[in-house]
Each structure stands twice: as C-alpha cells, then as structure tokens.
Amino acid sequence: MWHRGTVFNLQGKVAVVTGAAQGIGAAISRTLAVAGAHVAVTDLPDRMVDATDVADAITAESHTAHAFGLDVDDPSRVREVLGDIASELGGVDILVNNAAWSSFGSSLETTRDDWERTLTTTLTGVFVCSQAAATIMIPRGGGRIINVASQLGLVGMENSAAYVAAKGGVINLTRGLALDWASHSITVNAVAPGPTMTPRLDRRMESSGETVEDFARNVPLGRVAQPEEIAPAVLFLASDEAAFITGHTLVVDGGWTAR
C-alpha cells in the first residue's frame, strides 16, 4: 500500500462525523479534513452554532467542511440528513459515530429515563446512523464506519452503569456489523479512548467532585488525553492503509486497560 505516497490520504472522500460540535468529534473532523476529506460536521440542531464554528474553522485553514443538524435519536431524520449529505457532497464514504449521551451517578439512583437516553443515543444511535450510511455506501462499492467507543466499554467503573453498558454494546455491535457488511466491502471498527479532556469529562467532574488527577492516576502514562490524540486513530481506520482491518477496537487509553 505504501507506493501510493502520502499515507492516510482521504482526498476525494466524504466523511460524516456525528457529535462533532466540540471535543473529540471536532478534533476528528479537523483531522479528516486535513487529510483531504470533505467533512460533514454534524450535531444536534440546537448546537448548530458550535458545529458551524467548527466547519468554518476548518474552511479557514483551506480545507473543506459543512455543518449539518443531525439528531441520532430520530431514525427518519437520520436517513433524511445522510441522504442530503450524499446529494450535496457527492456520497458518504466514511461515517464516524461519535455522538453520545452520558449519565453518571449511583446505580441505585439512576432513573429509567437516564438509562434509556444513554442507551438510545450512545448505542442505538450508532446502529441507526450506520444502517443509514451503509445503504448509501453499498451501491458505491463500500466504505468505512468508525465507532467511538470508550475504554469503559472494556472495563467497569463506579457510578457509570448506563454508560459502560452502552459503550460495551458499541464494541460488540462493531463486531456484528463488521461481519454483516464485509461482503459489501464496508469495514466497521471502533476506537476506544481513555479519559480525554472534553466537555463530557468536565461535566462529570463538576457533578462528582472528581479531578483530572483522579483520572490520571488510573493511566500508566500519567495524564489524560487531549482530543487531538484520539483523532489520528480514527484517521488510520478511515484510510486505505486499514483496508484489511474490520471488527477491531483500537484502544487509545494511555495504558488504562493494560493493568
């Protein structure tokens, strides 16, 4: 594969990133755009100002991005928006399922609504978006789907029952879809970040009283990640260099799960 020259070249590809208005999703969007992809930066309609800011920042660096409103909890709207993206940008070659909802707190106090919203957005949303993207990718001869899971899909953590259940589901859903769609030349993989400095981590620390140092103590490298350190793993799995990888979860957690 190396004779192509530039490694991880996504020139001419159309990439859709969900939950991309901030944090890891924003970093992934920029990284894919720098590699040459035409990126659809998507997030909830009420976050369109932030999503547009991300797309505008990418465009200001002479790369290509557009913002789209997308609620992964609404299956009919997901199909409609991905269809619009395909029509406007020329297809869908790469889907990055990054959108998630997290509910943290005692398992005894977790409400049914918190449980269902976490599972609906974080797990069911991945399936719905993947299914919609696959229907576009199959006639085009294949594609790449990358799901943003978590190291908490591989290990447990206190006060996180709904989130670890959802992210564990994402990892096994990745395997199942990889097997279902291999014959269509669609690869399906996951990236499992460790603790990363994002608004989600900030919200958890605000509600729980935990600190960055508390999370860093569980990381052999001694610190939490920055979003820009997660995005290259997604870029690799989206590239031609990862063409023979499917059903895999690439863990980017500073050694957390190696203990």
User: Active-site residues: which are they?
Assistant: 163
Q: What are phi and psi of 151, to 5 degrees?
A: -65, -20
In the chain, at which residue ranges do the beta strands (DSSP E only) sit? 14-17, 38-43, 64-69, 94-97, 143-148, 186-193, 249-252
Amino acid at 153: G
One-letter-per-residue 3-state SS of 8-21? CCCCCCEEEECCCC
Residue 173 neighbours by CB under 8 Å, 6+ apart: 123, 126, 127, 147
Interatomic CA distance for residues 105 and 98, integer angstroms: 22
